[in-house]
Chain A
């Protein structure tokens, strides 16, 4: 019993104190690209999104109202900032600008923000303090990671854990989830569900219910399984597969990518080296 307790404490200590230098640069580049693609694909909507005659949700007053009058200027500045962010130019100042631009975009997009946007808004705020410029950066940082940077990475992880714990809790007390109907209703919201390859599975009462209960179980066990080193990678693979299915069925590619990219922070540098081999991973990052 004592040894078991000791093992749990060791696992906890390993998770919370491990180095996490390798992934932050990858997250910066990948997230920068996703935001850039999202921004570019929003351009065709400018004609109605930023026109009060077609969009009654558009803020007309304050700073946001002023900026909304010049969407092309805003989009140009935001895209340029994202490019600097991807290349690691301007370091934390540019990270802060990305957060500010993204915050404005979310305020303009209230009717169509997804949970991914809500998650990312806070993650980008925490990421401002992360030193992600050791690799994949034009100007590299050197020396040890600051305490602030370590706490910021831990904040991103704690935020991810909070999302899972909240979701598990609110699902568990929701009647539709308790009855096992929620999965069918969720899939039914999307057009072409009946033609989907998932329809035979989801429309089966037994399978549909057990998928729902398994999702709650997965979310309930996410935190301990992520902390325990032996289950960390298998857990992330299963969770990632679930999000890939949702990406294809629901078409919410941005939301799914945001969640998938968050998983990378759960893995320690040792985990990444175990996956790719220490030489390979470092060689890739330094190029």
Chain B
């Protein structure tokens, strides 16, 4: 009987702590605890107010061999078969999913430069933040996968352009109360990689 009471007491204490912490919106604390207890379910969309796309230009000996837009590639992948939807979903998230984080850091760097007169530290952020470094690496990884899937395509390098386009509210198109609208539609990041072929 005593063991049962202790069990119920521990149960109540556990859930009391979980509920208490879940409403405390602290990113670093949540990051530490999220493996142990359910914390801060802020699962509401929208995760972003901006559309992203990536353009790949494949070159061989300085000559452009192919221009590929990632959204077109994905749309074609999704059309293949419903059984391959998961594969397309994984590709979408691996190679495009974190662009919002890259853009968020770009926005922060530009904002600080513009309004706080600080030097633009976007490049430093990419080097020092592991998530951004991996995101950049995956931007460079996708062309390798594409070449593997398309062995007939010959290329020795690829230039990558990351584009952003803020979403326009259909019923309030003049709404621009967010820094993403100040930056507007543009290519905000450019990189390249050499291909071993």
Residues of chain A whose beta carbon lies under 8 Å from any beta carbon of chain B: 38, 41-42, 44-45, 48-49, 53-57, 109, 111-112, 115, 118-119, 122, 147-148, 151, 154-155, 158-159, 162-163, 165-167, 169-171, 174, 176-177, 181-182, 184-186, 188-189, 191, 203-205, 208, 251
Classify the interface of chain A: helix, strand, loop or mixed.
helix
With A55-B138, A57-B134, A189-B47 known as contacts, the answer to whether A111 contacts B98 (CB < 8 A) is: yes
Report which of A155, A159, A177, A205 forms a contact with B44, defined as CB distance below 8 A: A177
Complex contact A167–B43 (CB within 8 A): yes
Q: Count of chain B residues with Cβ under 8 Å from any Cβ of A?
A: 54
- The residues of A that contact B184 with a CB separation of less than 8 Å are none
A159 to B15, CA, bound (A): 9
With A54-B144, A174-B44, A203-B171 known as contacts, the answer to whether A45 contacts B4 (CB < 8 A) is: no
Complex contact A151–B145 (CB within 8 A): no
Interface centre among B49, B86, B91, B144 (most CB of A within 10 A): B86
Complex contact B97–A162 (CB within 8 A): no
Report which of B7, B8, B48, B172 forms a contact with A205, defined as CB distance below 8 A: B172
A53 to B11, CA, bound (A): 45
Classify the interface of chain B: helix, strand, loop or mixed.
helix
A57 to chain B, nearest CB (A): 5
Complex contact A162–B94 (CB within 8 A): no
Residues of chain B whose beta carbon lies under 8 Å from any beta carbon of chain A: 4, 7-8, 11, 15, 18-19, 22-23, 25, 34, 37-38, 40-49, 51, 71, 74-75, 83-87, 89-94, 97-98, 133-134, 137-138, 141-142, 144-145, 167, 169-172, 175
